Structure 1
Amino acid sequence: MSVPHTSPPPTDTHCPYCALQCGMALCPAADGADGRPVLEVAERPGFPVNEGALCGKGRTAAELLAPGARLTRPLVRRAASGELEPAGWDEALDLVAGALARTRRTHGPDAVGVFGGGGLTNEKAYALGKFARVVLGTSQIDYNGRFCMSSAAAAGTRAFGVDRGLPFPLADVARTDCAVLVGSNLAETMPPALRRLSELRENGGTLIVVDPRRTRTAEQADLHLAPRPGTDLALALGLLHLVVAEDALDSGYIEARTTGWPEARSAAMAHWPELVERVTGVPVPELRRAAALFAGARHAMVLTARGTEQHAKGTDTVGAWINLCLATGRPGRPYSGFGTLTGQGNGQGGREHGQKADQLPGGRRLDDPAARAHVARVWDVDPASLPGPGRSAYELLDELGRGVRTLLLAGSNPVVSAPRAAHVEQRLRSLDFLAVCDVVLSESAHLADVVLPVAQWAEETGTTTNLEGRVLLRRKAVDPPPGVRTDLQVLAGLAERLGGRRGFPTDPEEVFDELRRASAGGPADYSGIGYRRIAEEDGVFWPCPERPAADTPHPGTPRLFRERFATPDGRARFVPVTHRPAAEEPDARHPLLLTTGRVLSQYQSGAQTRRVGALNAAAPGPFVELHPRLARELGVRDGDALAVVSRRGRAVAPARVTRAIRPDTVFMPFHWGGEGRANSVTNPALDPDSRMPEFKVCAVRVERAERDSAGGGAPGTAEAGTPGTGRSEGPAGTAGTNGATAHAR
């Protein structure tokens, strides 16, 4: 009697890309040439964030699991050839551990740096921070999420006492009456979330989009405000001025739930509409309409993203939008408030549990004696042994080869994604030793002394925290290829070689249980969350403290601030802010403004998406977007090669002429290296509070150019199977040995 063949059931999991963390299922479709199942992505309609909807990146995510698309063996740079060549794990780990120990012994622990990524799971982010502080004893750890959410995090903590991207579920957006979307192009960066804006309008609500470009998202808006890049702060203050002038404040809310209003009011009143029009270019009638729509709505919210945050005044700009929300009584009320749209897959959880230079697990401050004592007890170390806060991301990169001599880089590609990227690339090359843990041989990994191939999302179990503060479980669907280890196994192997034999388990659930204890009582309290509960409930919102003596567990907190804010007195804080110019204004030599962003079919530094055929076909390379008026002045047509030149560098890409951009502004996407690397041009000026670089605006000139035959599209040819082509050359053509750090896997 024959037994009918049954396929293994699908594995419910989550997309590896953005912070929506869309639910999906992975189904075995066939047996691969290496004996591992070939997986296909299927919809998972029951998951509430995306309800089955997936963008092109999510639908093609399984293609990166194929051996030909990724690293499968450790690579070591051989002295004789100067090339990266295959090696065994023991040799590779011995070399990395030896370099870390040698640098600590010769130059001290802070000469060792660690740079993580916003795509790491909570377990890996936690273990990486613990490894840096306990095993290496270094303060020099940060992560590329500093380039993503730090300004909103700083402003949220300053005003509300806690840093959580959305203090309400994403579904609430569809039920508000007026949403102001500032500096976000959801249609291309988070397409499944766009349905919430469509539902909002179908329900009779109003959408206001603030963006200097007429994006696909702006085309959905009832009102599109197109300010000059770098002037969002003036715009927000101008709207608050109008709310005050029209007596549209919620005075009862201000008195009962906030502090600091008189000072914030005084600062806003200095930004009258005509002044704001001159600064921003947004006409006064549009300002008045926006203020009336927002203040007159029963329920209203402001959502910010990188366009308003990636500035040297990003914290104050976000703070101005928060002040507008507080003055009209929005935060903590149904279908209202302020939120920010986290970008990277685990950008929220990645900073909560120890990758940030100034933060311990649970969102605790590293300079807080009580926080240090609590975490030290969990780690079984003396609190005095924990180093203090270190350098922020760009400052750490800028110090490479000088104070920081050896770097461990996990899941970041700063050669493409850091501001002033050519300078950062030189700093990476100047290191004594660079070790990279990654899935693919990125532009940064090409410069390493040792590359350690690690498992990716579908090959290991772990948790992430999405933009709503919902803790999710990514489930393992397939074994990694032979020769690939998990990041937890890598850290355990290094810790053992460096004398830290205890405290670095390789089982992710065991690591998560320790993370729960370390987070207990902190702002981001995960202590009441476990793997089984996450699976049963489709995620659990933090804070969720453990209730050992209670009959029922804590329900989690989908909506914050209903009764009080997370400040000592329970009140939200107005912070007075005033507009100031961008760190770099146009002049005679650089008369235009450059702003940067993403496109639909690529993600972050492109290290993964540029290896997926369908995505690369849809967005094969960089471009320069410019207005027809500017194109006529330059004598440029679509497809002509343009050079965008700033005080820091030059990027070359084809022209894309469109009326969707202001005549005084050009736009470039930042997903490519080579001659089209947008971040060769961008400004590393830092926000004084968040240490966020000013990615979104700098002064440039645009000129016709001949394109280099090297182009700026596909990654280097030294992928898995052809490591010998990874030779790096120093800035002057001399042999280089190193490299490391900045956007997500």
Structure 2
Amino acid sequence: MTRSLGTRNVFSASTIDQIPKQVAGGLMLGDPMAIAVPDLDRTDYLLILGANPVESNGSLCAAPDFPGRLKALRARGGKLVVVDPRRTRTAASADEHLFVRPGTDAYLLLGIVHTLLAEDLTKIDIEVNGLEELRRLAEEFTPQAAARVCGVPAGEIVRLARELAAAPTAAVYSRIGTCTAEFGTVAQWLVDVLNILTGNFDRPGGVMFTRTAAVELFRTGQPYTAGNWHSRVRALPEALGELPVATLADEIETPGEGQVRALITVAGNPVLSAPNGPRLDRAFRDLDFMVCVDPYLLPADPAAGAGPAVGGRDPGAADDDRLRSGGGRRPGHARRDDPRPGAPRGHRDSGLTVRGQGSGGAARRAGRRQRARADAGRHAAARPLRPVAGRPAGQPARCRPGRAGAAA
């Protein structure tokens, strides 16, 4: 679509999600899709930063029954440590929860790196370069200096480093909480640095690289580059063919050559998922044209600037993408979708089907979630509606809340 439109104005949720991890992988390993994930079933020590896999089932590190695997880790004598500003469900289930000041994970990680190098606790077992540059970089980030910024006591930082080094196997894993921060890419790089320094990179019980269950559509075989072009208004660099969605409103509001005047969103609602949603909402109302492609029509959705809304693909297809990108095994799930406008009476949409592998208990839990979503949908439908520009009152078209949409 973007090629046919001849535009480089492509935005998605990736730039407010995992792209810092991919940029770090591209710069460090040459492949932005090379994402090492914890070997959950064999590790002895798991340090999680800014992730809540008990709720999310793992995201970049996806596995069936992630909560059960964390329980199994502790049951076999392993240790689970969570670093997070919030008392998440994952933090509550851990052996230890360390509160960190939001956005300062890179300081904490550098403090751990400093300790490993200063106390000669490293066990590097793969070929690396840049070790001396790393040593110089980490020199000023003593545990005491890191503690003043991140809020984790210096003694705890030193202990974390020693525990990671002493564990028979260990894995450090981080997710969106460490990505959506000022030094998100640095934090993602440091996670892999720690796994390398402790001898747990590409090793059973440490972090390992997955194999896709289907063809790898996202790998080009070309050397990784970024910043191949920049956004018009703020000159922000491109990454993996996308511009930061944080600058989408700038591109719509700022007059001049190349100003965005039309928008296509696919399976997303940037008014809810992108930064500064109210500003985007106002900007969308000034567009000449906007279309939403989505399998859902939710009357209470706030993306009121949309014009026509057209049906999209099977809502479960996002999980198929993960099979091609190495994200992990497809989990069982259930989704509810009200019948499409004009669907035959009694038609059962694919969104009502429980899919994936699971026990009868999993199916029952999925059924309960389906009923909860139905109740939520009925409550949402009772809210006041806002008409869409160019449509009669009572005929709103909305995008489904979710990922920030692709724009043109």
TM-score by length of 2: 0.72
Q: In the aligned structure 1, how far is the partner of 2:133 from the partner of 2:155?
A: 27
Q: Give 2:49's aligned residue.
A: 182
Q: In the aligned structure 1, how far is the partner of 2:336 from the partner of 2:275?
A: 36
Q: In the aligned structure 2, how far is the partner of 1:464 from the partner of 1:260?
A: 35
Q: CA deviation at 1:154?
A: 0.9
Equivalent of 1:453 in 291, 305, 311 = 311
Q: Is the Cα–Cα contact under 8 Å of residues 409 and 741 in structure 1 kept in the other structure?
A: no
Q: CA deviation at 1:267?
A: 1.0
Q: CA deviation at 1:395?
A: 2.2
SS in 1 for 2:31: coil
Q: In the aligned structure 1, how far is the partner of 2:375 from the partner of 2:154?
A: 44
Q: Give 2:402's aligned residue.
A: 743
Q: In the aligned structure 2, how far is the partner of 1:612 from the partner of 1:418?
A: 23
SS in 1 for 2:23: helix
Answering whether residue 98 of structure 2 is matched by residue 240 of structure 1, we say: no
SS in 1 for 2:97: strand
Q: Is the Cα–Cα contact under 8 Å of residues 47 and 81 in structure 2 kept in the other structure?
A: yes
TM-score by length of 1: 0.41
Q: Give 2:360's aligned residue.
A: none
Q: Give 1:437's aligned residue.
A: 293
Q: CA deviation at 1:483?
A: 4.1
Q: Give 1:32's aligned residue.
A: none
Equivalent of 1:283 in 153, 172, 177 = 153
Q: Is the Cα–Cα contact under 8 Å of residues 303 and 339 in structure 1 kept in the other structure?
A: no
Q: Deviations over 1:228-281 (max 9, x none)?
A: 111101000001111112211115x2xx51111111111112111111121111
Counterparts of 1:99-118 in structure 2, within 5 Å, are none
Q: Give 1:197's aligned residue.
A: 70
Q: In the aligned structure 2, how far is the partner of 1:461 from the partner of 1:393?
A: 20
Q: Give 2:251's aligned residue.
A: 399
Q: CA deviation at 1:336?
A: 0.6
Q: Is the Cα–Cα contact under 8 Å of residues 176 and 335 in structure 1 kept in the other structure?
A: yes
Distance 1:301 1:248, change over 3 A: same
Q: Is the Cα–Cα contact under 8 Å of residues 116 and 161 in structure 2 kept in the other structure?
A: yes
Q: CA deviation at 1:715?
A: 6.8
Q: Give 1:565's aligned residue.
A: none
Q: CA deviation at 1:216?
A: 2.0
Q: CA deviation at 1:160?
A: 2.1
Answering whether residue 86 of structure 2 is matched by residue 426 of structure 1, we say: no
Structure with greater strand percent: 1
Distance 1:391 1:187, change over 3 A: closer
Q: In the aligned structure 1, how far is the partner of 2:224 from the partner of 2:192?
A: 26
Q: In the aligned structure 2, how far is the partner of 1:367 from the partner of 1:159?
A: 10
Distance 1:478 1:283, change over 3 A: closer
Q: CA deviation at 1:176?
A: 0.2
Counterparts of 1:594-743 in structure 2, within 5 Å, are 612-613=373-374, 714=380, 717=383, 725-727=385-387, 743=402
Distance 1:365 1:391, change over 3 A: farther
Q: Is the Cα–Cα contact under 8 Å of residues 305 and 388 in structure 2 kept in the other structure?
A: yes
SS in 1 for 2:252: coil
Equivalent of 1:161 in 30, 38, 54 = 30
SS in 2 for 1:257: coil
Q: Is the Cα–Cα contact under 8 Å of residues 300 and 330 in structure 1 kept in the other structure?
A: yes
Q: CA deviation at 1:445?
A: 4.4
Larger gyration radius, structure 1 or structure 2: 1
Answering whether residue 129 of structure 2 is matched by residue 259 of structure 1, we say: yes
Q: Is the Cα–Cα contact under 8 Å of residues 209 and 221 in structure 1 kept in the other structure?
A: yes
Q: Deviations over 1:359-392 (max 9, x none)?
A: xx53566998xxxxxxxxxxxxxxxxxxx95633
Q: CA deviation at 1:451?
A: 1.2
Q: Is the Cα–Cα contact under 8 Å of residues 210 and 226 in structure 1 kept in the other structure?
A: yes
Distance 1:250 1:455, change over 3 A: closer
Q: Give 2:94's aligned residue.
A: 221
Q: CA deviation at 1:398?
A: 3.0
Q: In the aligned structure 2, how far is the partner of 1:160 from the partner of 1:611?
A: 43
Distance 1:739 1:395, change over 3 A: farther
Q: In the aligned structure 1, how far is the partner of 2:185 from the partner of 2:306?
A: 34
Q: In the aligned structure 1, how far is the partner of 2:264 from the partner of 2:97?
A: 44
Q: Is the Cα–Cα contact under 8 Å of residues 447 and 726 in structure 1 kept in the other structure?
A: no
Q: In the aligned structure 2, how far is the partner of 1:395 from the partner of 1:741?
A: 21
SS in 2 for 1:463: helix
Q: CA deviation at 1:143?
A: 1.7
Q: Which runs of 4+ in 1 moved over 6 A?
A: 364-368, 477-480, 608-611, 737-742
Count of aligned pairs between the two proteins: 346
Q: Is the Cα–Cα contact under 8 Å of residues 201 and 207 in structure 1 kept in the other structure?
A: yes
Q: Deviations over 1:384-415 (max 9, x none)?
A: xxxx9563322234312551111111111111
Counterparts of 1:473-552 in structure 2, within 5 Å, are 481=340, 483=342
Q: In the aligned structure 2, how far is the partner of 1:298 from the partner of 1:275?
A: 29
Q: Is the Cα–Cα contact under 8 Å of residues 610 and 715 in structure 1 kept in the other structure?
A: no
Q: Give 2:393's aligned residue.
A: none
Q: In the aligned structure 2, how far is the partner of 1:278 from the partner of 1:166?
A: 31
Q: Is the Cα–Cα contact under 8 Å of residues 427 and 739 in structure 1 kept in the other structure?
A: no
Q: CA deviation at 1:142?
A: 2.6
SS in 1 for 2:48: strand
Q: Give 1:270's aligned residue.
A: 140
SS in 1 for 2:321: strand
Amino acid at match of 1:405: R
Q: Give 1:325's aligned residue.
A: 195
Q: Give 1:463's aligned residue.
A: 320
Q: Is the Cα–Cα contact under 8 Å of residues 264 and 291 in structure 2 kept in the other structure?
A: yes
SS in 2 for 1:207: strand
Distance 1:137 1:740, change over 3 A: farther
Structural RMSD (CA): 4.2
Q: CA deviation at 1:214?
A: 2.2
Distance 1:278 1:268, change over 3 A: same
Distance 1:364 1:430, change over 3 A: farther
Distance 1:461 1:240, change over 3 A: closer
Q: In the aligned structure 1, how far is the partner of 2:24 from the partner of 2:81?
A: 22
Distance 1:339 1:400, change over 3 A: farther
Distance 1:328 1:716, change over 3 A: farther
Q: In the aligned structure 2, how far is the partner of 1:478 from the partner of 1:738?
A: 19
Distance 1:197 1:474, change over 3 A: closer
Q: Is the Cα–Cα contact under 8 Å of residues 167 and 468 in structure 1 kept in the other structure?
A: no
Structure 2, unaligned stretches of length 5 or more? 59-64, 226-239, 344-356, 358-364, 390-395
Distance 1:165 1:207, change over 3 A: farther
Structure 1, unaligned stretches of length 5 or more? 1-130, 341-348, 354-360, 369-387, 485-537, 539-600, 602-607, 618-712, 719-724, 730-736
Q: CA deviation at 1:285?
A: 2.1
Equivalent of 1:312 in 179, 182, 186 = 182
Amino acid at match of 2:248: L
Q: CA deviation at 1:455?
A: 4.7
